[in-house]
Structure 1
Amino acid sequence: MAAPAEVISNQYKPDSENENNQILVHNQHAYAVHNDVVDPLDDDPVASVSFVQESPVVGEYTQSRPEGYYPYSSPPNPMSPNYPSGTYSVDADAILSINDIKDELFHGDAVEVLKGIPDEAFHGWVTSPPYPHSQRDYGVDGQIGIESTPGEYLENLLSVILQAMRVTRPDGTGWVIVDDAICNGEYIGVPDRLVAQLKDEGFKVIHNGPWVKTGRKPDPAPNRFAHTHERVIGIAKSDNYMFDRRAVEDQSDVLSLPTSAESKFNTPDVEEVSHDAMFSIELASHLITASIPKHTCPKCRSPLSPQYEVTDILDLKENRHKERVLDAFHRTPEMTRKHARACRSVGLCDAGQGARTQSGTGRNSNRVQQLVNEVRESDFPSSYIREFSYAKKHLTGYRQTCECSDVDIGENTIGGLVLDPFVGSGTTCSAAIRHGRHYTGIDLNEDYIDLTTKRLSSGVDSSLSEFF
Structure 2
Amino acid sequence: MRILGTHRFIVGHVLDALKLLPEESVHCVVTSPPYWGLRDYGLPPVYWPEVEYSPMSGLPPIRVPAWEGQLGLEPTPEMYVGHLVLVFREVRRVLRWDGTLWLVIGDSYANPGKGGPWDEGRMQKGTGRILYARQANRGSFSELKPKDLVGVPWRVAFALQAEGWFLRSDIVWVKPNCLPESVEDRPTKAHEYIFLLAKSPRYFYDAEAVKEPAVTHLYDKRYLPEALPRERSNEPWNLNGPLKPHRGFKVLDTTCGRNRRSVWAINTEPFPGAHFAVFPKALAEICILAGTSPAACPAYGAPWERVVEREHAPRGDRFGCREIGRFDHGQQGRPYLEVVASRTVGWRPGCRCPDNDGSARCVVLDPFGGAGTTTLAAMALGRDSVYIDLKREYAELALERCGFKGSGRLFDSHDWSLEEIPPAGAVQSPGAVAIP
Note if 1:426 corresponds to 2:372: yes
In structure 2, the partner of 1:282 is 282
From 28, 34, 39, give the equivalent of 1:124. Answer: 28
In structure 2, the partner of 1:3 is none
1:207 deviates by 1.4
CA separation of 1:139 and 1:401: change in aligned 2, threshold 3 A: closer
In structure 2, the partner of 1:228 is 190
Note if 1:155 corresponds to 2:82: yes
Note if 1:405 corresponds to 2:354: yes
Name the CA distance, whole Å, in 2 between partners of 1:152 and 1:114: 20
- Whether the aligned pair in 2 keeps the contact of 1:123 and 1:293 (CA below 8 Å) is no
In structure 2, the partner of 1:389 is 339
Note if 1:452 corresponds to 2:398: yes
Partner deviation per Cα, 1:374-412 (whole Å, 9 max, x = no partner) = xxxxxxxxxxx83x6253x2211112221111434xxx5
In structure 2, the partner of 1:106 is 10
TM-score of the superposed pair, with normalisation by structure 1: 0.59
In structure 1, the partner of 2:138 is none
Partner deviation per Cα, 1:31-70 (whole Å, 9 max, x = no partner) = xxxxxxxxxxxxxxxxxxxxxxxxxxxxxxxxxxxxxxxx
Name the CA distance, whole Å, in 1 between partners of 2:303 and 2:152: 33
In structure 1, the partner of 2:93 is 166
In structure 2, the partner of 1:71 is none
1:260 deviates by 2.0
Note if 1:340 corresponds to 2:340: no
CA separation of 1:220 and 1:309: change in aligned 2, threshold 3 A: farther
Name the CA distance, whole Å, in 2 between partners of 1:260 and 1:121: 31
For 1:134-283, list aligned pairs within 5 A. Answer: 134-142=38-46, 143-183=70-110, 184-250=146-212, 251-261=260-270, 269-270=272-273, 274-283=274-283
Name the CA distance, whole Å, in 2 between partners of 1:190 and 1:179: 7
Name the CA distance, whole Å, in 1 between partners of 2:38 and 2:277: 13
CA separation of 1:258 and 1:417: change in aligned 2, threshold 3 A: same
Q: Percent identity?
A: 31
Residue 159 of structure 1 aligns to a residue whose secondary structure is helix
- Whether the aligned pair in 1 keeps the contact of 2:32 and 2:105 (CA below 8 Å) is yes
In structure 2, the partner of 1:82 is none
Name the CA distance, whole Å, in 2 between partners of 1:460 and 1:311: 40
1:343 deviates by 4.9
Gaps of 5+ in 2: 47-69, 111-145, 213-259, 412-436
In structure 2, the partner of 1:18 is none
- Whether the aligned pair in 2 keeps the contact of 1:178 and 1:230 (CA below 8 Å) is yes
Partner deviation per Cα, 1:85-116 (whole Å, 9 max, x = no partner) = xxxxxxxxxxx9644x5411000011111112
Residue 214 of structure 1 aligns to a residue whose secondary structure is coil
In structure 1, the partner of 2:387 is 441
Name the CA distance, whole Å, in 1 between partners of 2:266 and 2:108: 21
Residue 180 of structure 1 aligns to a residue whose secondary structure is coil
The count of residues paired between Structure 1 and Structure 2 equals: 301
Name the CA distance, whole Å, in 2 between partners of 1:396 and 1:135: 48
1:459 deviates by 4.5
Name the CA distance, whole Å, in 2 between partners of 1:198 and 1:238: 13
Residue 197 of structure 2 aligns to a residue whose secondary structure is strand
Asked which structure has the greater RCO (Cα within 8 Å, sep 6+), the reply is 2
RMSD: 2.9
1:248 deviates by 1.0
Name the CA distance, whole Å, in 1 between partners of 2:206 and 2:10: 29
- Whether the aligned pair in 1 keeps the contact of 2:310 and 2:340 (CA below 8 Å) is no
CA separation of 1:342 and 1:304: change in aligned 2, threshold 3 A: farther
Q: Could you tell me which amino acid in structure 1 is paired with residue 163 of structure 2? A: E
Asked which structure has the greater CA Rg, the reply is 1
Residue 230 of structure 1 aligns to a residue whose secondary structure is strand
Which structure has greater helix proportion? 1
Name the CA distance, whole Å, in 1 between partners of 2:281 and 2:3: 25
Q: Which runs of 4+ in 1 moved over 4 A?
A: 341-344, 458-461
- Whether the aligned pair in 1 keeps the contact of 2:38 and 2:108 (CA below 8 Å) is no
Name the CA distance, whole Å, in 2 between partners of 1:220 and 1:293: 44
For 1:19-168, list aligned pairs within 5 A. Answer: 98-99=3-4, 101-142=5-46, 143-168=70-95
Name the CA distance, whole Å, in 2 between partners of 1:106 and 1:215: 33
Residue 206 of structure 1 aligns to a residue whose secondary structure is strand
CA separation of 1:163 and 1:207: change in aligned 2, threshold 3 A: same
